[in-house]
Amino acid sequence: MEKRKLGNNGLEVSALGLGCMGMSWSYGQAKDKQEMISLIHAAVERGVTFFDTAEVYGPLENEELVGEALAPYREKVVIATKFGWEPNPGDSDRWSALNSRPEHIKQVAEASLKRLRTDVIDLFYQHRVDLNVPIEDVAGAVRDLIQEGKVKHFGLSEASAQTIRKAHAVQPVTALQSEYSLFWREPEQTVMPTLEELGIGFVPFSPLGKGFLTGKIDANTKFDSTDFRNSVPRFSEENRRANQALVDVITSYAAKHQATPAQIALAWLLAKKPWIAPIPGTTKLSRLEENLGAAHVKLTADDVRSLEEASSKIKLEGARYPEFHQKLVGR
């Protein structure tokens, strides 16, 4: 597996990482723990060194899963986790309260270290920007954790260019994690020029459009009652039908390259910039192997341009988040 560098402080990761959220949370019922441990081991054996989790996934259970699974390989892998939420029992979404106060960040770090069975967090992201806490204070708290040897690298998620600059001035930001795919290309205008200027890596989550770009979802697909895509406007039956045109374009390119639509979507991201490391998630070994096969699909600059021109002609329907979560991005 090819390696890539995120940021200017020496963080090297596999070109494709593994997003672990769906193993415990969000995409239907939590999966069998031992099966997921076996899947994470399979990823390591196939060259994946970059694993993504967060305290809120589960909540808490996903960090415990990742910590247990990666304990035998700890020196060989990079574990990223996130802070910035706190339980809010009175709300229907019990983790809807943001909290990036410095003292809370440090408490979360201690708890995450225990769940992850490690003495250092490789990459510690602010999960969402908290407007009640100056980003300079957030960066300062993570800087303290880095100086104490409890964290190696600082990251942000779904932050605006302005916020990234302010944070970076206090503690260099190693990576930004935000949604980015052929299904959502806004970062090209809003943050990627800033990342390139400052030397910050980019970790796209949902690089397969929450599964849509695999070609395995259509207007007739029924999601589990606990699957968060039921609440995503872009995944309404009507919008899935309209957005199928994008999948058709990607599928046509896949046929030319003897690849799958998922592999083309990931190969496109890998071809965009050498400092991009996507983290597709899966709970199936066959999908893991399919995704990792994208690293062997080499798109030329002409391929990328042609794919973008064709996909840009399609008007995509539906917001990528429900209203509450939409308010928390790009701040």
How would you write the chain as a 3-class SS string?
A: CCEEEECCCCEEEECCCEECHHHCCCECCCCCHHHHHHHHHHHHHCCCCEEECCCCCCCCHHHHHHHHHHHHHHHHCEEEEEECEECCCCCCCCCCEECCCHHHHHHHHHHHHHHCCCCCEEEEEECCCCCCCCHHHHHHHHHHHHHCCCEEEEEEECCCHHHHHHHHHHCCEEEEEEECECCECCHHHHCHHHHHHHCCEEEEECCCCCCHHHCCCCCCCCCCCCEHHHHCHHHCHHHHHHHHHHHHHHHHHHHHCCCCHHHHHHHHHHHHCCCECCCCECCCHHHHHHHHHHHHCCCCHHHHHHHHHHHHCCCCCCCCCCHHHHCCCCC
Catalytic residue among 57, 125, 180, 321: 57
User: Is the C-alpha dihedral spanning 20, 25, 29, 33 positive or negative?
Assistant: positive
Q: For residue 262, which of 229, 217, 314 has the smallest C-alpha distance?
A: 217
Active site includes 253?
Answer: no
CA distance 51 to 74: 11
Which residues are known catalytic residues? 57
